[in-house]
Structure 1
């Protein structure tokens, strides 16, 4: 089939590479210009670079405007494939090809529509994440599903590991979907919108630790925000500190959420609801970076005790 791609960052590049490696023909690659914004600069392997290397026509644009629609129309695609496209696509565009448009979304739809689904799934305590190939319609990530691949979330998995593992699902899922569409054997499964969950774009404040969360939740939170994502952070004696790794304490701690104590050679933070009752485990900080960007030994750094807070 003749395919036009809309994609950006590493997800878009991996999708384009999968199509290049397939028996289909990519006749146009539409992508966004490079960006320095915080989240767009993460996983920023270039779609444009790969397309130009392979002699595929490239169109750079921030949105699907009239010029973009005209270029796609002249390319005469059988189908449009989308992965990591940041702006709205009108029905005039996504319904244009004979086989419409499919989008790749890195969650098990209808859960975790929206943004950063892998990180939110890990933070939420889900047992699995995955990849969905679905038909594009007028609402974000809600179209009928043709292929889903699941990915278990292990007890030590980081956000980075899960994102990379999810990208590895792209070639098989995409080829399965395109084969079924081309052969006329596709079975489209409508999403149950009552089961839909939507998650917003992440910003800096979403990495700030809330010490009223349980230690189990906070350990997952810290693990989700692994490099290259902005790490979990808090404030200690008026200065920002980044919590890079943590663990759930073996025994329970009581007191005020955010109180950090050094016990048995480890820095433990009281956390969770009703912590004054002494029924909660603590978050043990195992790797720490100070406000100057220097890695510190947590037990030595917090030797004076004190409180971790949500503001300076």
Structure 2
């Protein structure tokens, strides 16, 4: 089939790689210009560079235009494929191909619609995430599902490891979705939108730790914001601290959330949980923290001993 691909960053790169290795003919690649935005510079494998290396025509755009739509009409693709295209594709564009447009979204739709779904799935405590191929419609990530595959979220999972897990699903999911459309065997399943969860774009504010959360939730939050993502952070005596690794305490600790308390298992216990005053909550044991100069420190070396509080503001 003749395919036009929309994609950006590593997700788009992996998708284009799968298409190039397939039997399909990629007649145009549409991607965004390079950006220095913090989240767009992390997973920055270039779709543009790879397409040009493969001799595929490239169209650079921040958002769709009349010129782009006319170019796609002239190419008469059988299908379009999108992965990590950052702006809305209007119906007059996604409906051009005779078989429609397939979007790849890294969650188990209808849950975790929207932005940074892998990170939000780990933060939320979900047991699984995955990759969904669905037909594009007028709303964001709401079209009928063609193929869906899942991966487990384990106690060792990080945001980074789960990104790689879902990227590894791209070739299989994309091949099955395109085969189903080409051979007429696809049975698109409408999403149950009563189960939809819609998450917003992440910003710096979304990385600050709330010590009123239970320790297990904060530990998962730290794993979700693993390198190379901007890490979870807090403040200690006016200094910003990034939290690199931690674990939930064996013992229960009482007092005020955020209190830097005492050593346990070689790390520093921080009192956590909204009902910590009852003395029924586990603490969070910080193992490694990172100062603003980029240096990692053993938490016990940094804090020295208990005392003071970790806060959401300087």
TM-score with structure 2 setting the length: 0.98
Judge conservation of contact 1:100–1:135 (CA < 8 Å) in 2: yes
Could you tell me how far apart the structure 1 residues matched to 2:164 and 2:275 are? 37
The question of whether the paired residues in 2 share the 8 Å contact of 1:243 and 1:288 is answered with: yes
What residue is the counterpart of 2:75 in the other structure?
75
CA deviation string 1:151-182 (max 9, x = no partner): 11111111100001100000000000101110
- The residue number in structure 2 matching 1:215 is 215
Counterparts of 2:304 and 2:281 in 1: how far apart (Å)? Answer: 22
Residues 1-312 of structure 1: pairs in structure 2 closer than 5 A: 1-264=1-264, 265-304=266-305, 305-312=307-314
Cα deviation digits, residues 247-269 of structure 1 (max 9, x gap): 00001000000001232442010
Q: State the distance in 2 between where 1:25 and 1:262 align.
A: 62
1:78-116, Cα deviation, whole Å (9 max, x unpaired): 000000000111111001110010100000000000000
Deviations along 1:160-218, whole A, 9 cap, x unmatched? 00001100000000000101110000010000110000000001010100000001101
Deviations 1:34-84 (A, max 9, x none): 000011111010000110000000000000111111111111100000000
In the alignment, the residues of structure 1 paired with residue 309 and residue 15 of structure 2 have an alpha-carbon distance, to the nearest angstrom, of 46
Q: What is the aligned residue count?
A: 312
Q: Which moved more, 1:66-75 or 1:20-29?
A: 66-75
1:202-251 CA deviation, whole Å, 9 max, x = no partner?
Answer: 01010100000001101100001000100000000011001101100001
Greater CA drift, 139-148 or 258-267: 258-267
Deviation of residue 290 (structure 1)?
1.3
Separation (CA, whole Å) in 2 of partners of 1:90 and 1:188: 20
The RMSD of aligned alpha carbons is: 0.8
- Report the alpha carbon displacement of residue 118 of structure 1 after superposing the two structures with TM: 0.4
- The answer for unaligned runs of 5 or more in structure 2 is none
Report the CA distance between 1:292 and its aligned residue.
2.3
Instruction: Detail structure 1 runs of 4+ shifted over 3 Å in the superposition.
Output: none
Question: Do the aligned residues in 2 keep the contact of 1:262 with 1:303 (CA within 8 Å)?
Answer: no
Task: State the secondary structure of the residue aligned to 2:131.
Answer: strand
| CA distance, structure 2, for counterparts of residue 75 and residue 268 of structure 1 | 61
Is the 1:145–1:188 contact (alpha carbons within 8 Å) kept by the matching residues of 2?
Answer: yes
TM-score (norm 1): 0.99
Cα distance in 1 for partners of 2:288, 2:68 equals 47
Please say if residues 208 and 234 of structure 1, whose CA atoms lie closer than 8 Å, have aligned partners that are also in contact: yes
In structure 1, list runs of 5 or more residues that go unmatched: none
